[in-house]
Amino acid sequence: MVSSTNFEEVVAVDAPHYGTKVTKYRSKVTGLSAVVVDLTVPVVHGYFAVATEIHNDSGCPHTLEHLIFLGSEKYPYKGVLDTLANRAFAQGTNAWTDTDNTVYTIETVGQDGFLRILPVFVDHVLYPTLTDAGCYTEVYHVNGEGEDAGVVYSEMQGRENTPGDLMDLASRRLLFPEGNGYRSETGGLMAALRQLSVQEIRDYHASYYVPQNLSLIITGNVDHNALLETLQNTVEQTIIEKGAPDLSTWQRPWVDSPAPLPLVESKTATVEFPEEDESMGELMISWLGPSCNDNLTCTALDILGNYLTESVSILEKEFVEIEDPLATDISFYTSDSTTSVISLYFSSVPTEALENVEKRLHELLQELAGTGFDLERVHMFIERDRLKTLDACETSPHYAFSTPAITDSIYGSPSGETLTDGMNDLKYYDVVRTWSSADWISLLKKWLIDNHHVSILGKPSAGLVKKLETEEKERKDKRRQELGESGLKELEERLEEAKETNEAEIPKGVIESFRIPNVEGIKFIEVDTARAGIADSKGFDNEVQKHVNADGSGDLPIWIQFDHIKSEFVTISLYFSTTNIPARLRPYISIFLDSFFMNPLYLPDGTELSFEEVVQALDADTVEYGAWLGVGGGWNEIACVRMKVESKKYEKAIAWLKDLWTCAKMDEERIGIAVSKSQNDMPQQKRDGSKVSWAALQMLQMDAEKSTARAANILTQDKFLDALEEKMEEDEGMEAVLKDVEELRTLLFRGENLRVHVVGDVLRLEKPSSAWVKFEIPSGSKGVLPVPLSRDNLTEQGKNPKGSATVVALPSIESSYSVHVTKSDVHFTHPNLAALQVLFTYLDTMEGILWKYIRGSGLAYGADLRIEPESGFLYFSIYRSPDASKAWTRAYEIVQEFKDGKIELTQTMLDSAKSSVVFNYVSGEGTPASKGAQSFVNQVLREESKDRVKEMLKKVQAVTLDDLKGPAMDYLMQLFDVKRSDTVAVSSPAKAKDLEQAFAKVGFNVAAHTLDDFE
C-alpha cells in the first residue's frame, strides 16, 4: 500500500470459484472510487462509470459521451486523449450511454500505458472543455446545404425510427410515471437535439460529472500500489486543486430519487415503424421487477426466463417450432436498475397475429401456474446457467466482472456489501436448486401473472415510410427557403470556423512526451499444440504431444489439432470444407446448419429420439453448441460445427457429434419449420442498412457456381426460401427437398473435408485421441482438402473491379451506408502486409486523419479501412452517414492530399499507429480461450506459426515512414481509384437519387437497384 494516500480499502472480495480477487477503494476526501479485478491476462481494461439521470429527451448524457473526447482543461486539444491512448498500446478509447449511466472505456496491453493514460482520461471526464465549436460539429448543426448533421444527430437519425428503439421507448413511457428518469431517451430524440444548447450540456455535466459520482473499474494485471500512487499523486491532486466536493450533501442519482410505484393496470399500445414489407412485426411485453440488488430473485428470474424460452420450452413449442411459426425467436431479459424491467421480446411475428400471440402468451403463463414446473428441467437450466457463468469468466473475464461492478457503482451500498454479494453470485444457484415447484409457481405468479404488464405491438407501416420522407423533405425545403443562399453560406462558413477551432494542432511536445511502452515487456499467453490422426505432428515436441501419442489411437483417419490451455471446459470444433458441394445444393447450407442440432435421431440400437428429446439432452450435456459458416470473421467457405462441454464430458461430446452427423434425419415437419422461420426472419434482416450493403457487395463479388458464402447470403436466401416453400407444397417436391438435404449432409461429412480442433486442458483428458476412434467418417483419400479461400471463388467483377457503383434503396432506414472495394495480391505472408496495416491504422485509427475529417465533421458515424488477406480484398466502408457520397468524396480528397504530401506523414503519428496495431494483435489473443482458437487459425488457416503475433509485432515495429510511402501507398490509392474499385451504397429511397448522381459525377458507372433485383 502507498505510504500516504487518501484512498481507503472499502472491501476486498475473494471469488474462489473464479480464481480472482476484487478490491474496492474510495477516497475519503473526494469520494472517487476505484474497483480492481485481478486477472492474469495481457490486456488491461478500464471502465469509468458515471451514474447519469435525466428527465427529458435532450440527450445530454449521450452528448457528453462524445464531447469529453474533444479536450480537457489540462489537455485542451480535440483528439489528444485518443492520440495519447494510441501510444499506450491501445486502439483509442470508447464509451457508451445507457438509460442510467455513461461508461468510458479503454483497453491497453499491459499496465504501463494504462497508468500513464489514466490521469489524462480522468481529466477529460471531469474537466472537459465543452466548447461552442465542439458542440456545433459533434452534436448538431445545419450544413451549407440546409441538411441536419452532427455526429450525435447522425447516430440518432440512424436509430430513432428502428423497431427496437421505438418499442423500447414506448414501453418505458408506459411503465414509468412522468418525472421518472427511466422514461427518458438518453440518446436524444432528433427534435430535441435540434434545440439543445451547449449551456444545457455544461449545466448537466456540472451536476453529474463529479468525483464522488465516478467509479474507475479496472480489470487485468495491475499492481495496486502503482495504481493508488497514480490516483493519489496525479488524479486526486488535480481534483483537490479544483476544490474537493462536500460529500455530506451529495444526492446519488437513482438511489436517492423516488422509486416508481407499481402499475395499477396493464396497458397495451401499438407502435408503427417504417417498413415497406408489412408482413412481419415485433412484440414486447414488460413488467416492473425487483431491485437489481435482490440477487436471489434476479437469479431465479433468469432461470425462469430460460425455462420459458430455451430448449424447446413451452413458448418455443407454442410459437416458434410449429408449421407456421408465430415468431422466429423469443428472448427474455431483465434490466439492472432500482426497479428492474422484465421483458419478453418476440421477433418476426406475422403482423396479423400480434394481438393473438400477446393474448396466448398470458394464457400459457396461467396454464404453467396450474400444471406446475418440471423440476428436472429446472435443475438442468440451473446447472447450465452456472456453467455458462463460469465459462464467461474464462472467455470474457473483463466483461463478466466489470458488469456487476458497474451496476454496483450506480446502485450498490457504500459499504461494499452489494459488491461482495454480486461477485459471489454462484451461491444463489444452490439456493434455487432447493426450490419446489410451488416456489417456482409463486415466482411466476408474483412477477409475470399477478403483476401488471405493458405490451407493445410493433407494426410495420409503408405509409410511415412515405410520411417520414415527406416531413423530412418539407422541413428541409422550408429551411432552405427561409435561409436563402446567403443564410446557407453563413452556415457553411460557421461550420468551417468551428472545424478550424476544433482542429487546433496538438503540440508535438505533448505527444512525444508520452512514451510508448516496450513491446518486449508484453506478457503473452502461451499454448501448447499437439496433433493426431492424419494431421502432421512433426515439430510438436512438448508434454501435450507426448500425452496424445501415449494415448495410442492407431491409424485414426481424422485430422485433429489439440491446443492445451488452463480451463474447466473443452471446446470441439469441426471444420468442413464446402468446396465439393454442387451449386444446386449450396443454398441449403443455411437451413442445414441452423437446424443441425434440432432434428430427430435414429440410433443404431433402434432408439428413436424426437427433436425435443435431442435438444433437451444436448442442453443437459453441454455448455453451448452451434453451427455456422465462417471462421474468426473470415474463411466463409468453411462450415463450422462446435460444442463446448465440461472436460469430464469430452467423450460424450464426441459421441453426440457423431450421432448428430450420422443418425439425424430432417423430416417434413422439421424442414417446413426451418424454412418458415427463416422466411419470417428475412424482413428484419433486410432492415439493417449495413448488413444489406455488405450482402449486396458479396452478390457482385462471389461466384454463384462456386461460393457457399454467396449461397448463404440473405439476398440469395430471400428468393431461395420462397421457391423452396412453393416446391414443398407438392409431395414430389417435398421428397426432392429432403433428398437434397440428405445429399448435402453426405457430401459434407467426409474425412477429406474435415479438420477437428480441440481446445481445453488436454492433459486432463484421459483419451484425447483414441476417443475419436468411434467417430467413423467415410473418406475417399488419405489426406484433407486444401483450406478453401474466398479468393478462389470470385466473379469476374470480384477479380477485377472496374468502377461500378450499385445504389440500393432501402425504405426502412434514414441514414446511408457504403462499402468500397478493390482487389489486391495481399495475403497473410505478403511482404507489404505489416506496412499496409500500419498505413491503414495511421489513417483510420481514433483521431487519425479519416476520423478527424469524416467523423469529426459529422459526415458519418464511422469510416473504416480494412484488409482481408483471405480474399485479397481491401475495403473502405462508411457507416451511418447523412450522405455517404459526401463522406466518400471527402475521404478521396484526404487520401489524395496524403499521397501528395499536403498532409504530412510524421514519425510521431507513425509510432502511434504502430502502437495501435500492437494492441490489435495482442488483444485478439487476450484470454487463454481466444489464444487457443487463434492457434488453429494461425497454424492451419493462415499456414503460419502459433506465435504469428510475436513475429508480426517485429515486422510492425520495423515499419518506417518510407515504407508507408512505397507499395503500401499504392494499394491505398488503388482503393480510391474510380477505375479500379467498386462501390455499393444503401440509403432511403428519398436519398438514393442524390447518391446516384454524386457517384456518377466522380466517374463511377452507376446502377440503381432494389433488393428484388439481386439474383
Summarised one tens digit per residue, pLDDT across range 752-763 is: 999 999 999 999
DSSP 516: P
pLDDT at 4 over 80: no
pLDDT at 1 over 70: no
Distance in angstroms (rounded) separating the CA atoms of residues 897 and 369? 69
Of residues 350, 308, 305, the one with CA closest to residue 325: 350
pLDDT at 852 over 90: no
Please report which confidence band the pLDDT of residue 15 belongs to, taking 50, 70 and 90 as the band edges: confident
485 HSE (CA, 13 A, CB side): 0
> What's the confidence (pLDDT) of residue 552?
81
694-748: per-residue pLDDT in tens? 999 999 999 999 999 999 999 999 999 999 999 999 999 999 999 999 999 999 9
Average pLDDT over every residue of 984-1010: 95
pTM of this prediction? 0.94
Average pLDDT over every residue of 382-388: 97
Q: For the stretch 456-474, what's the b/e string if a residue is b when 16 or more beta carbons lie within 10 angstroms of its beta carbon?
A: bbbbbbeebbeebbeebee
Q: pLDDT above 90 covers what percent of the chain? A: 91
Distance in angstroms (rounded) separating the CA atoms of residues 602 and 609? 7
Domain boundaries 267-396+404-460, corresponding CATH code: 3.30.830.10
Give, in order, the Cα–Cα distances in Å from 244 to each of 27, 51, 239.
11, 19, 6
Distance in angstroms (rounded) separating the CA atoms of residues 142 and 228? 46
501-517: per-residue pLDDT in tens? 998 889 999 999 999 99
> What's the confidence (pLDDT) of residue 554?
67
For residue 284, list its beta bridge partners.
345, 456
Average pLDDT over every residue of 917-942: 96
Quickly list H helices, 129-254. Answer: 132-138, 151-159, 163-175, 190-193, 198-208, 224-230, 237-242
Domain boundaries 795-1013, corresponding CATH code: 3.30.830.10
- SS3 of 401-445: the string is HHHHHHHHHHHCCCCCHHHHHHHCCCHHHHHHHCCCHHHHHHHHH
pLDDT at 104 over 80: yes
Average pLDDT over every residue of 870-885: 96
How far from chain centre, in Å, is Cα 796?
A: 33
DSSP 130: -
How far from chain centre, in Å, is Cα 238?
A: 36
Asked if residue 685 lies in contact with residue 714, where contact means CB atoms within 8 angstroms, the answer is yes
Length of the chain: 1015
88 HSE (CA, 13 A, CB side): 30
Residue 487: CB atoms within 10 Å: 16
> What's the confidence (pLDDT) of residue 971?
98
Q: For the stretch 754-787, what's the b/e string if a residue is b when 16 or more beta carbons lie within 10 angstroms of its beta carbon?
A: bbbbbbbbbbbbeebbbbbbebebebeeeebbeb
Report the SS3 class of residue 845: coil
437-488: per-residue pLDDT in tens? 999 999 999 999 999 999 999 999 999 999 999 998 899 999 999 999 999 9
Q: pLDDT above 70 covers what percent of the chain? A: 99
Please report which confidence band the pLDDT of residue 624 belongs to, taking 50, 70 and 90 as the band edges: very high
Average pLDDT over every residue of 849-864: 88
Query: What is the CATH architecture assignment of 569-760?
Result: 2-Layer Sandwich (3.30)
pLDDT at 97 over 70: yes
> What's the confidence (pLDDT) of residue 3?
56
| Burial class of 375 by CB neighbour count within 10 A (0 to 12, 13 to 18, 19+) | middle
CATH number assigned to the domain with residue range 7-254+490-512, chosen from the 4 options 3.30.830.10, 3.30.420.40, 3.40.50.11060, 3.40.190.10? 3.30.830.10
> What's the confidence (pLDDT) of residue 480?
94
Within the chain, all domains assigned CATH 3.30.830.10 are found at 7-254+490-512, 267-396+404-460, 569-760, 795-1013
Please report which confidence band the pLDDT of residue 391 belongs to, taking 50, 70 and 90 as the band edges: very high
Of residues 566, 554, 560, the one with CA closest to residue 528: 566
> What's the confidence (pLDDT) of residue 334?
97
Q: How many helices (H) and strands (E) does the chain have?
A: 39, 28
State the chain's mean pLDDT as an integer.
95
Distance in angstroms (rounded) separating the CA atoms of residues 787 and 942? 9
